[in-house]
Structure 1
């Protein structure tokens, strides 16, 4: 499962800093992962130019990509995401396990969060696409998540990311803002059907801060 290679190729093509990377899937073997790269950048919506009418730029839409994982489970997906977060210099990787939102009494906020995790933004401006979707199984994944729950990961890269300009110290980073593989952090066990949150700390500060 080439998560790091996929992100690196997209960053090289877009030539924009990454704000964050999220990924979501359902707790089912062979389920694909929906990887979303959230860019930091703005672009004009149209090449049209009018002297008396300034046309404001819009934020660049995220890139939503499907990564298939035949024969693999969530543990393999999480290890691939840990490896990517490690190599891209992220301080941590967050994992949240969510209950299905298609259930009696579920608040609307859970349904909205579930849709957003899979790149669907029903509350967004209709003129703003949010993401450019290259995931043929996204709708099927979202339906499965509504009935079975889902897992969502989040990390913020320093290498190729917006956070490379933030002066936060991290003793594990190399000169490029990344780290050499392999990632030494192993995935925590995932309890099926139980909602929760886990944070993998990847960075550290070795010197004493007074």
Structure 2
């Protein structure tokens, strides 16, 4: 189990910067948690890999609902008004889309509203593709149209990831058994797409 108190301790020591996932995503409104000021500072100074991992886990912990529009706004892709309530409704997350690339962008410390999956996957000025053998905590696993934050490899060879998956769902902590390919890419049989471990260049 990921330790919430340990993550917060790591967050207080933050020193580097990273980013998140999705396609047509947007942002939201709400009340800031007690540590909001500290976290915003870490975005400016840069985040460690442990910070990135913790920040992605935060969205899972609060059950951040998937949405490609700002809180209270109409999401034409999903066909409903975006509504974040409770712990998911915070000032620090207001400017971010809560789709897959929004999660990755928040985790990486990318300025709101965040990058799209196209930027994460294709913009070589911002990111670089790496082989699965080189992936580390805080990197993303990305394809055109979807992205997620990599936490680590499990004993059975599956990857533990944090992601926003689809309309009507919430941020989740998943174990995915990818097929590892010789070129360094990862094939997700259940999804039918090939993904690449992708790193934010400053990370």
Task: Return the TM-score normalized by structure 1.
Answer: 0.25
Rg (Cα) greater in structure: 1
Task: Return the TM-score normalized by structure 2.
Answer: 0.26
Question: Which protein, 1 or 2, shows the higher relative CO under an 8 Å CA cutoff with sep ≥ 6?
Answer: 1
